[in-house]
Amino acid sequence: MRGFVTRLAVTALGLWAADAVIRGFHIDGWQNVVIAALLLGIVNALVRPIIVLLTLPLTLVTLGFFLLVVNGISVAIVAWLVPGVVVTSLWSAVLAALIVSVVGWFVSGFVSDTGRVERVRGIEVTGRRIK
């Protein structure tokens, strides 16, 4: 349960960051951010695999870059379902999905799958440990 809440919070943080950065993507209120984050998780678990399977030839031809568009479609589906989320174009949705992914990737470096915060003890540089 702790991991689920942590992933929900990270996705909500990514959506909030996308709202702050992208002009064509807007979410009204923090309640809609949480609802959109929850719904994005559901869409990514249920709908996205079907879209990926249907677009597999195009994904292979573009060497995987079409997955960015698939992620944008997932965000556009969430915007269609949640009244407080506005996406003006597919490219705004793709950029929002990219920002959500980057925020999730960054936070996953500090938070484990169970939701526990991990701390970095030191970095090894050419065999020497820096504290």
- What is the pLDDT tens value at each position of the chain, 131 positions in all? 777 888 899 999 999 999 999 999 999 999 999 999 999 999 999 999 999 999 999 999 999 999 999 999 999 999 999 999 999 999 999 999 999 999 988 888 777 666 666 665 555 555 555 55
Q: Which pLDDT does position 110 carry in this prediction?
A: 77
Q: Which pLDDT does position 130 carry in this prediction?
A: 54
Q: In the chain, how many domains are there? A: 1
Q: What does the DSSP 8-state code read for residue 23?
A: T
35 three-class SS: helix
Where in the sequence is the domain holding 20, given as residue range(s)? Answer: 2-130
27 three-class SS: strand
Query: What are the residue ranges of helices labelled H in the chain?
Result: 2-21, 29-46, 48-54, 56-61, 66-81, 90-108
* Of residues 9, 14, 38, 41, the one with CA closest to residue 25: 14
- What is the four-CA torsion angle of 94, 99, 105, 106, rounded to 10 degrees? 170
